[in-house]
Amino acid sequence: MINKLKFWKTSKEDSALEDRILALKELPIPKHIAIIMDGNGRWAKKRALPRIAGHHEGMKRVRRITRFASKLGIEVLTLYAFSTENWKRPKNEVEYLMKLPGEFLGTFLPELMEENVRVKMMGYKDKLPDHTQNAVEKAIRDTEHNNGLILNFALNYGSRDEIVRAVKNIIHDVKNGKINEKAITEDNFSEYLMTQDLRDPDLLIRTSGEIRLSNFMLWQLAYTEFFFSDVLWPDFSEEHLIEAIEVYQQRSRRYGGLKGEGEEE
């Protein structure tokens, strides 16, 4: 009797989730979602576990949310996996974090291929350990012909440094006659950023109750809708992603204009 009741409850919950998904698709879905995945350490601490246990659990959450984002028809999912400031963390934690891409992509790659997901990375590869670089480059290479969801990892990424490097590259190109300084616009400035072939995020999600950007996509988030959740990343579920999108769909994106002007079609 207990098993039947549990099955009925699960089936009812699944049905309710499918109804919410159908309702979501009646309205514009954000094409590019960026997530600051925060709270792995606090998740572990609450359970008297080492911090690396939280990172391991967070990695499994990436897998679930990626699959679900693909199901929803989201075009780009950018995940803030490791910032340029994260090198300041304890050595053993950093070493574990550098092993995660290999572990994650090694086990998840066949499923990414099946889901038609394309892996990309933005950040500075040259400072990553060889085993981390190799794992990421293999995933990028193996999925380069897929044309479904783009899973974009921000790995060893910092937005201020990205912008400074963009300015330096523009100065270099101006000096070498590749671009006229009078012709520099917001659009061609964006071409010097790591997201040059991606649209700007429509929705930013940050978990764990923190309300800051932490040097993440400062240029690209100029007109992005923000959603801050108190849920720790390892507990962030498909229902929480739906909630974030539902809130996004209730907002009016005016891009500095009046209501009705510049909104998504």
Question: What tens digit of pLDDT does each residue of 105-153 get?
Answer: 999 999 999 999 999 999 999 999 999 999 999 999 999 999 999 999 9
- CA-atom Rg of the chain in angstroms: 20
**d(Cα 72, Cα 212) in Å, to the nearest integer?**
27
Residue 258 — pLDDT band, cuts 50, 70, 90? Answer: low
Pinpoint the alpha helices (H) of 176-235. 186-190
Strand 225-228 versus strand 203-206 pairing type: parallel
Catalytic pick among 14, 40, 86, 173? 86
pLDDT of residue 247: 97
Checking if the pLDDT of 17 tops 80, the result is yes
- Exposure letters 25-50 (e unless 16+ CB within 10 A, then b): eeeebbbbbbbbbbbbbbbbeeeeee
State the pLDDT at residue 255: 60
Higher pLDDT, 91 or 4: 91
Is residue 192 over pLDDT 70? yes
Calculated CA dihedral for residues 30, 34, 40, 41, nearest 10 degrees? -140
Identify the pLDDT of residue 8. Answer: 47
Tell me, yes or no, if 86 is annotated catalytic: yes
Choose the catalytic residue: 3, 14, 38, 200.
38
pLDDT for the residue 147: 97
Cβ-based neighbours of 261, under 8 Å, separated by 6 or more: 254, 255
**pTM of this structure:** 0.90
Number of H helices and number of E strands within the chain? 8, 6
Rounded to an integer, what distance in angstroms lies between the CA atom of residue 187 and that of residue 164? Answer: 16
Distance separating alpha carbons of residues 242 and 29, to the nearest angstrom = 10
Share of the chain above pLDDT 90, in %: 86
- Strands 32-36 vs 76-83: parallel, antiparallel or unpaired: parallel
Q: Is 38 considered catalytic here?
A: yes
Q: Could you tell me how far CA 251 lies from the centroid of its own chain? A: 21
* Average pLDDT over the chain, rounded to an integer: 92
Q: Assign 16 a pLDDT band (cuts: 50, 70, 90).
A: confident
In the chain, what are the domains?
28-158+199-225+232-250 (3.40.1180.10)
Residues with Cβ within 8 Å of 175's Cβ and at least 6 positions away in sequence, in order, are none
Q: What is the DSSP letter of 207?
A: -
Taking only the tens place, the pLDDT of each residue in 141-161 is 999 999 999 999 999 999 999
Mean pLDDT of 52-79: 97
The gap between the terminal CA atoms of the chain, to the nearest Å, is 50
